[in-house]
Structure 1
Amino acid sequence: MTRRVERRSPIGCNDQYGKLAEDALVEALKSRRAPGESGGISLDTRISELVEAHLKRLHEDGKSPATLTTYRSAARKLAKYSDSLRVGEATPGRMNAVIRSMRQAHGAGMARHSRTLLRAALQIAVLDDVLGANPVTQVDRIQSAAPPKGAPSLDGMQLRDLIGKLRASEACQAADLVDPITLLAATGLRRAELLALRWQDFNEESGTLTVSGKVARVAGEGLRRLDGGKTKSAGRTVPLPLFAVAMLTARRGRDFWGEQPMIFPSSAGTHRDPDNFNKQWRAVRESLGVPDVTSHSFRKSVATLIDEAGLPARFGADQLGHAKVSMTQDVYMGRGKVHPQVAAVLDRAISDE
């Protein structure tokens, strides 16, 4: 089979007669290996093609749309530094230079995503017997300059004070933040789970919510409600404190909000964008006296209240939809149960009554 092999002059070099490009081509031909077992990959295959192949596999394997969106964004930025590189040129030094360039231009987080993509892409070449070893495994992991600060948690008094300020805030009422933030404090749901809730998921009689999906932005499709969640334990039924049941009952009786299939829709009656929800919360939280509190803070707050009440960690894992607590609890204890004690703890901590 005839294959086209080409090399270019090094960037920044004045190669008027193409001698440097010719030397690079001769060197590449000397070290050229036959295509791998599939016949579709060789040392001349562009690394960017393998990155796309890896992303396609992730999609076929049912990887989270949110994760795919993040990786595709990283792949677009990565192409600027790696698009001309071929598998045969993937040395540890070159891969390190690409990843460091990504860090300098786009930060440590994007550099980590790039390292993950490059490692997975070149592993395809390894498994196809084109490369003897994966050069990215020899590149040091990217470390942040400082450890992540993490979202702060609130105690019961702070949560009660915050909900009081929420109810009194005209800005929060106008942005429809009072009810969803109240439910976050009452349940510890993930933001995407909260915005995926439908009225059919609310059982007023039993005082429970069924968590069965999440809202995510899918490339080429826009915002969608997806069945399932972040982990296998994400699908669950959670008990509600009495103040949350009262809030949802009142909301269902209101014009527009109670007429939509979603409990917390956008003002246009469509799925509410988690990113827009975050922006709206960031715009008001300083005026409420909680400038650093994020939607994730409420998950940590619920977990802390459960722990301080002396309830088993298993209760917290079931409430929050975590996949694991410990090997003993996972293997030897029942999981996925509804624990009314959690709702009682939150009622005592937050409710005004």
Structure 2
Amino acid sequence: MPIGTYGKIRCYETKSGWRALTKFRDFDGVTRPVERSGKTRAAAERALKKALTERSSTQGGAISADTRFRKVAEEWFSGVEAAVEQGSRSPTTAETYRRVLDGHVLLALGELRLREVTVPRVDAFIGAVRRNVGAPTAKTARSVVSGVLKLAARHGAIDRNPTRDIARIEGGPKKNPRALTLDERVQWLAQLEADEKAVAKDLPDLSRFMLATGVRIGEALAVQWSEVDLDKGVVHVNFTVVRVKGKGLIRKSTKTEYGERTLPLPSWAVEMLKKRHTGGVGLDRPVFPDSLGGLRDPSNTRRDLRNARGTAGFAWVTSHVFRKTAATILDAAGLTARVVADQLGHSRPSMTQDVYLGRKAVGREAAQALEGAFVTESA
């Protein structure tokens, strides 16, 4: 018999009721008899099956080939949340994983037993997400499924992680980073200021703050007045706002040591914050609160920005565009990639250069340097 399984159940009537017994192959390879009693044959058999299930779970772990994918997924995500608590995982990563887990993965694979989560099934699922939603979501779904099945493999429930053998996810042409030009920045703020709903949602000042700092939207919404020094003109970025299941909106520490940073503010941003601070706002209150003065939901705020951008001209603008714009402005000013990465809270300047710098137009300096390409020293 395979380890963790049992043979045929035999039942015998006794003076006091019934006895059910079988042989179980333990996880040390030894086959041992197991029996249970009951007043009826059915009761004895149920008691034996319960004991066998408990024996299998105790010796082989709570995860087996017959465990449903949904159960393992929740255990895996608990590990992700623990990593967030320890600071080794980003809160936004956990938020993204939870969204994809609930919105895609569990809907397709949740009720399958681990032995049923095969390469063809995973490949078909990821392919469907790629076609119907897009490559980025498909890649995230693959990461989630892979994480769950790695946990299953560690428990010995499966021999091999099926995600290792699925087809590669091909994305479309990589889009170049796009940042707001000077004219577009002026036009964007003018458009927001003229929109009563955008003003009521506090979008003009929030846009200014993100342009002034290059912070993520969750980081911007997490800043409290106690973390703003208007005299020195700096803001301390140490937290981000995330929604945690069962807890609601909370402030979480940023992703890494690079995420915790103190950023100098341009004078126009300091003046904007001074105007907002008029009236003695409490130090423990968010700089950009919701309508009740508490933490503001990043997802709802992204939706507000989408509603305010219109369908033409700024249809491509997302909250991350302000971050890319700030990075591009710093790059154009001649700051090093390391300095820009520190501003954005990145550990690797290469990521800053590849993903965040909108670089298309090249200055005249390049042409001037190439002027002498065919000029000899004697000439």
TM-score range, shorter chain: 0.7 to 0.9
Report the equivalent of 1:180. 206
Task: Using structure 1 for the length normalisation, give the TM-score.
Answer: 0.73
Structure 2, unpaired ranges of 5+: 9-55, 352-379
Structure with bigger gyration radius = 2
Of the three residues 126, 130, 147, the one matched with 1:99 is 126
CA separation of 1:148/1:191 partners in 2, compared to 1, >3 Å: closer, same or farther? farther
Same amino acid, percent of matched pairs:
36
The structural deviation recorded for 1:35 is 8.5
Partner amino acid, structure 2, of 1:244: A
**Is the CA contact (8 Å cut-off) linking 1:193 and 1:215 kept in structure 2?**
yes
Task: Using structure 2 for the length normalisation, give the TM-score.
Answer: 0.68
The structural deviation recorded for 1:215 is 0.8
Of the three residues 142, 163, 166, the one matched with 1:136 is 163
Report the equivalent of 2:229. 203
The structural deviation recorded for 1:270 is 1.3
| Superimposed CA distance per residue, residues 295-334 of structure 1 (whole angstroms, 9 cap, x where no aligned partner) | 211111111111111121122111111112269xxxxxxx
- Over the residues paired in the alignment, what is the CA RMSD in angstroms? 3.2
The structural deviation recorded for 1:169 is 4.5
CA separation of 1:276/1:3 partners in 2, compared to 1, >3 Å: closer, same or farther? farther
Q: Secondary structure at the match of 2:241?
A: strand
**Is the CA contact (8 Å cut-off) linking 1:69 and 1:219 kept in structure 2?**
no
| Superimposed CA distance per residue, residues 229-259 of structure 1 (whole angstroms, 9 cap, x where no aligned partner) | 134311101011111111111110158x678
More moved, 295-304 vs 132-141: 132-141
**Is the CA contact (8 Å cut-off) linking 2:225 and 2:283 kept in structure 1?**
no
**Is the CA contact (8 Å cut-off) linking 1:45 and 1:86 kept in structure 2?**
yes
Matched, 1:299 2:323: yes
Partner amino acid, structure 1, of 2:290: S
The structural deviation recorded for 1:205 is 1.4
Number of aligned pairs?
A: 296
Matched, 1:59 2:86: no
**Is the CA contact (8 Å cut-off) linking 1:189 and 1:320 kept in structure 2?**
yes
**Is the CA contact (8 Å cut-off) linking 2:67 and 2:114 kept in structure 1?**
yes
Report the equivalent of 1:279. 303
Report the equivalent of 1:82. 109
The structural deviation recorded for 1:155 is 2.8
CA separation of 1:162/1:68 partners in 2, compared to 1, >3 Å: closer, same or farther? closer
Which of the pair is proportionally richer in strand?
2
**Is the CA contact (8 Å cut-off) linking 1:156 and 1:305 kept in structure 2?**
no
Matched, 1:43 2:65: yes
**Is the CA contact (8 Å cut-off) linking 1:208 and 1:239 kept in structure 2?**
yes
Q: Could you tell me how far apart the structure 2 residues matched to 1:100 and 1:142 are?
A: 8
The structural deviation recorded for 1:220 is 1.0
Matched, 1:235 2:260: yes
Q: Could you tell me how far apart the structure 1 residues matched to 2:189 and 2:328 are?
A: 18
Structure 1, unpaired ranges of 5+: 6-33, 328-353
**Is the CA contact (8 Å cut-off) linking 2:105 and 2:141 kept in structure 1?**
yes
Of structures 1 and 2, the one scoring higher in RCO (CA 8 A, sep 6+) is 1
The structural deviation recorded for 1:104 is 5.4
Q: Secondary structure at the match of 2:349?
A: coil
